[in-house]
Structure 1
Amino acid sequence: MAGKVIIAGLGPGDPARVPAAVLTAMAGVDRIYLRTSHHPAVAALEERGLEWQSFDSFYEDAADFEELYRRIASFLLQEAGGQAPASWPGQQENPGALPARNPRSIAYAVPGHPLVAEKSVALLLEQAPAAGVELQVIPAMSCLDALFTVLRIDPAGGLTISDALIFTARGLDPGRGLLLTQVYNRRVAGDLKLELMKVYPDEHPATVIRGAGLPDGERVATVPLYTIDRLDWVDHLTSLYLPPCPAARDRTLAGLEAIMARLREPGGCPWDREQTHNSLKRYLVEETYEVLEAIDSGDTNKLCEELGDLLLQVVFHARLAEEEGEFTLADCLEVVCTKMRRRHPHVFGTAVLDTAGEVLVRWDQIKAAEKREQGEEAPSVLSVPRGLPALLKALKVQEQAARVGFDWAVVADVWAKVREEMDELERAINSAGKEEQAAELGDTLFSLVNLARWLRVEPEAALQATIDKFSRRFRFIEQAARDQGREIKDLTLAEMDVCWEKAKKISLS
C-alpha cells in the first residue's frame, strides 16, 4: 500500500478562516506536520486538540532556504513511505504521545494556499511519483487573496508575483505592478531593495504589508523603496508591493524595443522610417569602433554609453526584420542562447575542458558538426568575416590554423621568419616592380602579426597605441609652430625634429 501525504493550506492567518475540510482531513491521519508553528492559523488546530510536529528546528540547521525545503520534502516522502527519516523535526511543547508506528498517512500543513509560494510543496509534487507516495492537495485562501483585498488591486490588470527569497530583477517589466511574498526579515528586505533598485528609482513608493487579513495583526505602510529594511516590524508574515513604474522601462530591453517601434510607426521619425538593413551598415561599424575607442580610453562611463548605442543598432535591425515578418529580437536571443549552451558542453553538459585552448578547439568542432547537421559542407578551418580589417583578419586566420597544429614550434622560428620576410622585402624594393614589392610587404606584415600572436600582444591594439602616440607628438609640433606665429608647413624638418624630441620628453610618448 502506497503512503499518502495530504497537503493542506491553513489560510493567510486568521484561525477562523482555516477550511473545515482541512481540519477534518487532519483529524484522520497518523501524524500532522507543520512547515512552521509560527503562524496565527495554528491556533485552529490547537482549539480542536490536534497534535502536530513542526519543522521549525530545520530552519536553524539549514544553510539556506533551498536546503531547508529539500530536507522537508525528503523527510515527508520517507515518513509517508514507511522509512525512518534521517532526521526529525522538533516537536511542539508538550505535544502528547504520538503513535509508536511508521505512519502511512500524514498531513503537511502550510500557511496560505499550498500551491502558492510554497517551494517545499513544489518539491513534493515533483518527487512523489518516483517515491511511490500519493498526494492530496486541500486548498485554502492564499495570502494573495488577502493582499489583493488590502491593496485593492485587480491582478487581471497585469501583475508580477514572486517569492522574495528567489526574486531577481532580470527580465522584470517595471511597467506592471510587482508583488513579493515571504519578505521574512529585515535582512531579506535589505537584499531585496538592492535588487529592486537596479530597475526602480530609489524613491519609488513601496507598500509593506504585514499579516494581511489578520483581524488584530495587520499592518500596512507605504515608504520609499530604499527604506523598506528600516521597518522594525518586518517578519515572516510580510509582503511587498510596488506599483507600476513605466519610466523604469528605460532600464529594460523591452523599453528600448518600445522606443524603436514608436520611431518606426506612422507619425514616428522620418529618418528612422527610411532606414534599411543596408543603409544602417555604416552605423553598425561606426558604433562598434566607438565601443573599442571607449575600451581603449578606460572611460567606463563612455563605454556604458557606447554599448547602449551599439545595442540600439541590434534592436534597430531586429525591428526591421520583424516588420517584414522575418524574425524578432526574441528569435535572436533564443538563437544565441541555444548556441551558447550547445557550444559550452563543459559548462552546461558533462564535457571536461580545462584550458582556454581546449575550449577553442571544441568550439570549432561543434561549429563544423552544426554545419554537417544542416546539410552544408564542413567549413574550412579558416573562417573569418569578409569585412574584417586586414590586421585583425591576419591574426584570426593564424589562430585558427594554429588550433589544428599548423604553427611554429618556438618563437625563435617566428622571429627568423620575420627576418626572412624583411630581407625579401628589401630585395624587392631594390630590384622588383611595385606588384612584387606589395606582395613582399604583405608577407612582412603577416609575419609581424604572427610574432605579435606569439608574444600575446594584440596587434590591432599595439598599432592603434602607436598611432595615438604619433598623433600626440605631431599635434605638439603643430602647437609649437602656432606659438611662434607660424604654420607647421613653414617649419624645416630639423625644426620639426627638435619639437619631436621635446614631445618625447614631456610625457607625450
Structure 2
Amino acid sequence: MTATVVLLPHPDAGVPPAAFPYLRAARAVYASGLGEDVLDLLGAKPAPAVLTGQDGPFVLFAATADDPLVRSLGDVRVIGQPAGVRLVEAAHVMDRLRSPGGCPWDAAQTHESLRQYLVEETYELLEAIEDGDRAAFREELGDVLLQVLFHARVAAEDAADPFDIDEVADALVTKLIGRHPHVFADADRIHTPEHQEVKWEELKQAEKRRESIVDGVALGQPAAALAGKLGQRSGRAGIPLDLFPSGSDAPTQLFVLAATARRAGIDPEDELRAVAKRFAADIRTAEAAARADGIDPTTLEAPGWRTYWPH
C-alpha cells in the first residue's frame, strides 16, 4: 500500500494542485497534527496512531515531514507545498505585529518613518551579495521582504486609498505576465537577454504611456547610479555623447564618467563602490601595520601613511 502524504506547513496555504488526483482516487483521507478546523476544511478524519492495515490508497495530511506518523510509513509519496507557502505566514505575522495587542513600535510606524530602514536594508543586502556571504544574503533578503510586508500593511490602514499585500502581489503578477508575452502568451520567442531587455522597455513604454525617455527614472537614487541610468536611457534613444553636459568642473566630469561607463556596460555605482571598498581595506591594512610597529595610526602624517600603505 502506498500512502500519499501532503504537507501543509500552514493551513491557510491550501492544498497543492499536485495532490488533487490523489485526493480524488483516495478511499480515505486522514490528517495528523492539524486542528479540527483544518480537518473540517479538508474533509478529513483524524489519523489513527498507526495507519498500517488501513484500506488504501489513502491520503494523509501532515503539518510537517517530521510528523511521527509520516516517518512510520514505509511506502510514501510526499507532496509538498509550492514555493511561497511561508510568505503567507510572514504576512500573518506582520498583521499580528501591527494589530491591537501587537507590538507598540510596529504599530507606530508610518511610510515616512520606515524609509530609512528600506534604504539601510537594501544596502546591507548589496553588501552581502558583494561579499558572497550566503547566510547574510538569506537574512538580508528577509529584511528587505519585511519592508515590503510592513509598507503594504501600513497602506492597508489608509482610509483614503487602501491596498494590501495581495494587491501588491497581484499587480506584480500582472506586470510579470504582461512583460513576458513570449512565455505566457503566443508572442514570438526571445532567445537572448539583450533582446528581452529591449522588449521589456518597449512594453513598459507602451504600458505606462510615458511622454519622455526619462520618465520613470528615480531621481532620488545615488548620484553615480542616476548618472548611469540617464546615460543608459539616452543611449537607447540615440542621444550622442557630444550633447552630454560639458565643463571641466568635477561634478560635470563625474556625471560624464558615470554616464559613459553605463553606456559601455559598466555599472558605475557598483564599480565605484568596489573601488571605495578596496580603498577602505587599504586604510585598515596600513593602520594595522602601523600598530604592529607600536605607532598610533591617528598620529600618522603623509610620509607615515606612504610608509605603511600596502602598495
TM-score by length of 2: 0.74
- Please say if 1:366 is aligned against 2:203: yes
Please state whether the residue corresponding to 2:113 is helix, strand or coil: coil
* C-alpha contact 1:147 1:213 (8 A) present in aligned 2: no
* C-alpha contact 1:206 1:241 (8 A) present in aligned 2: no
Partner residue in 2 for 1:380: 212
Q: How does 1:91-490 map to 2 (within 5 A)?
A: 117-118=20-21, 143-144=26-27, 146-148=28-30, 157-159=39-41, 209=51, 212-213=54-55, 224=66, 234=75, 252-324=86-158, 326-352=162-188, 353-372=190-209, 378-382=210-214, 383-406=216-239, 425=248, 437=249, 441-490=250-299
Cα 1:350–1:279, aligned 2, differ >3 Å: closer, same or farther? same
* C-alpha contact 1:480 1:499 (8 A) present in aligned 2: yes
Please state whether the residue corresponding to 1:279 is helix, strand or coil: helix
Distance 2:31 2:298 in 1: 81
Partner residue in 1 for 2:303: 494
Please state whether the residue corresponding to 1:278 is helix, strand or coil: helix
Distance 1:310 1:290 in 2: 9
Please state whether the residue corresponding to 1:465 is helix, strand or coil: helix
* C-alpha contact 1:284 1:313 (8 A) present in aligned 2: yes
Q: What is the percentage of aligned positions where both structures have the same residue?
A: 34
Cα 1:251–1:304, aligned 2, differ >3 Å: closer, same or farther? farther
Using the TM superposition, give the Cα deviation of residue 213 of structure 1 relative to its aligned residue in structure 2, in angstroms: 3.6
Using the TM superposition, give the Cα deviation of residue 350 of structure 1 relative to its aligned residue in structure 2, in angstroms: 2.2
Structure of larger gyration radius:
1
Q: How does 1:46-125 map to 2 (within 5 A)?
A: 117-118=20-21
Using the TM superposition, give the Cα deviation of residue 458 of structure 1 relative to its aligned residue in structure 2, in angstroms: 2.0
* C-alpha contact 2:49 2:69 (8 A) present in aligned 1: no
Using the TM superposition, give the Cα deviation of residue 371 of structure 1 relative to its aligned residue in structure 2, in angstroms: 2.9
Distance 2:53 2:37 in 1: 20
Distance 2:141 2:34 in 1: 41
Distance 1:285 1:485 in 2: 40
Using the TM superposition, give the Cα deviation of residue 262 of structure 1 relative to its aligned residue in structure 2, in angstroms: 1.9
Using the TM superposition, give the Cα deviation of residue 278 of structure 1 relative to its aligned residue in structure 2, in angstroms: 0.6
Structure 1 residues not aligned, in runs of 5+: 1-12, 14-115, 122-141, 162-176, 180-204, 243-249, 373-377, 409-413, 426-436, 505-509
Cα 1:457–1:208, aligned 2, differ >3 Å: closer, same or farther? farther
Q: How many residue pairs are counted as aligned between the two chains?
A: 282
Using the TM superposition, give the Cα deviation of residue 355 of structure 1 relative to its aligned residue in structure 2, in angstroms: 3.1
Which structure has more RCO (C-alpha within 8 Å, separation ≥ 6)? 2
Distance 1:178 1:286 in 2: 49
Please state whether the residue corresponding to 1:359 is helix, strand or coil: helix
Cα 1:314–1:206, aligned 2, differ >3 Å: closer, same or farther? farther
* C-alpha contact 2:177 2:184 (8 A) present in aligned 1: yes
Distance 2:193 2:261 in 1: 19
Residue identity in the other structure for 1:487 = D
Cα 1:155–1:468, aligned 2, differ >3 Å: closer, same or farther? closer
Q: Which runs of 4+ in 1 moved over 4 A?
A: 116-119, 148-156, 158-161, 205-212, 222-232, 238-242
Per-residue displacement from partner, 1:309-340 (whole Å, max 9, x unpaired)? 11011101111112235011010000000011
* C-alpha contact 1:394 1:449 (8 A) present in aligned 2: yes
Cα 1:407–1:252, aligned 2, differ >3 Å: closer, same or farther? farther
Cα 1:224–1:308, aligned 2, differ >3 Å: closer, same or farther? closer
Distance 1:483 1:206 in 2: 70
TM-score by length of 1: 0.47
* C-alpha contact 1:478 1:488 (8 A) present in aligned 2: yes
Cα 1:458–1:318, aligned 2, differ >3 Å: closer, same or farther? same
Residue identity in the other structure for 1:498 = T
Greater fraction helix: 2
Distance 1:208 1:323 in 2: 48
Distance 2:221 2:77 in 1: 54
Per-residue displacement from partner, 1:249-287 (whole Å, max 9, x unpaired)? x97112212222222222322211111011101111110
Using the TM superposition, give the Cα deviation of residue 481 of structure 1 relative to its aligned residue in structure 2, in angstroms: 3.4
Using the TM superposition, give the Cα deviation of residue 464 of structure 1 relative to its aligned residue in structure 2, in angstroms: 1.2
CA RMSD after TM alignment = 4.3
Using the TM superposition, give the Cα deviation of residue 152 of structure 1 relative to its aligned residue in structure 2, in angstroms: 12
Distance 2:117 2:48 in 1: 42
